[in-house]
Amino acid sequence: MVGRLAAIALGLGCMASATWAQQTPAELAVAAGAPPAPKNWHVPHTAWGDPDLTGTWPLEFLSTRPERAANLGNKRYWTDQEYKKLLAAGPGFGGSYEAELKANEIGSGHWTEAGHPLKLTSLIIEPANGRYPPLTAEGKARQAQMHSSWSQQTFDSIADFNTLDRCLSRGLPTSMTPFPYNNGLRVFQAPGYVVIQLELIHETRIIPLDGRTAPPAAIRSYMGSSRGHWEGDTLVIDTTNFNGLPPMNLVGPGGLQLPTSPREHVVERLTPTGPDTIYYEATVEDPGVFTAPFKLGFPWHRDDKYKLYEYACHEGNTIVQNYIHATSPRFAAQRTATLAAENKVP
């Protein structure tokens, strides 16, 4: 009986996946909470004939996390009633800005930009459970070697910090998902190019559309090398040549870090679905880390009033050095001498 129930559940999950696969990007965007396009709306085009994606599209939906809670199973969307409660409850991340002002203090309420949840229960839409696939043996070995400012107490070298700690990069696809702050994203276009500017961490993706091949395999970077082309009104971006150094996921207190590898391959699809909506998908394969691919899928909402500011990270680039000098056993004698000297100051 248990086996039969499991088979029925699996069959229903496959049927649901097949139904979602048959939906258009516009239908998927509306199901995730985006407004439907006006009747007779058509995708605008640039002066040189490409679909026009330009604008500011901040990723302000932190409260919709990449990975679905395990207890939700294959539940892809909140019900209308559940979604209304989520919206009424507010962001639910960080402290309250108003409460901190009243207490004359500054905390997470001043810098967390939670935004509003999507109707999705997770940004991962495949596999059906909305969760990262299991790790390979190589992935587990890479995970065991990961370090960050959230996981360490003692810092001996820069290898004890991840690329986010060092203000280098969030990598892909993480850079295309929400963060607690600085979620600005702008799209620019010119003949033969699409450019995606990211507020965090001050990176700009320059994507050629002229059919050029990827660089030689020896040339690798944090964000990889992107090549784009149009399929109708959809921009398809194929990215390879990663260096495997950024983490796959946002790392925070108690968070389980997931690695990437140089074998990572990301294919993104950006489809305009309304005057102020783009449906975004990213299929991620990394056979060096995961036993199967996974897909992200969610709508972007235009907000051209959103202002992007310089993301200078830690001023003077001194924080990593200070962590090492303050905690590493190598500098214990120096710290003792410094403290002794400070105690003698009148």
For the chain, the domains span: 41-59+132-340
Helix (H, G, I), strand (E, B) or coil at 286: coil
Quote the pTM value.
0.89
CA 76, 79, 85, 90 dihedral sign is positive
pLDDT tens series, the chain, 346 aa: 434 433 434 444 444 555 666 899 999 999 999 999 999 999 999 999 999 999 999 999 988 999 999 999 999 999 999 999 988 876 655 567 778 888 898 877 777 887 889 999 999 999 999 999 999 999 999 999 999 988 888 999 999 999 999 999 999 999 999 998 899 999 999 999 999 999 998 899 999 999 999 999 999 999 999 999 999 999 999 999 999 999 998 766 656 789 999 999 999 999 999 999 999 999 999 999 999 999 999 999 999 999 998 888 877 778 888 999 899 998 888 888 887 887 765 5
| Cβ atoms of 176 and 59 closer than 8 Å | yes
User: Is residue 141 within 8 Å of 258, Cβ to Cβ?
Assistant: no
How far is it, in rounded angstroms, from Cα 61 to Cα 119? 10
Confidence (pLDDT) at 2: 37
Question: Per the structure block, which two tokens stand in for 40?
Answer: 């007779």
**What number of CA atoms fall less than 13 Å from residue 198's CA on the CB side?**
22
pLDDT at 346: 54
Report yes or no: 239 and 262 within 8 Å, Cβ to Cβ: no
Residue with tokens 């979604």, as numbered in its chain = 83
Question: Which tokens is 283 given?
Answer: 């299929």
In 3D space, the residue among 308, 344, 62, 22 whose CA is nearest the CA of residue 187 turns out to be 308
Sign of CA dihedral 77, 81, 84, 88: negative
Looking at the domain 41-59+132-340, which fold is it? Lipocalin (2.40.128)
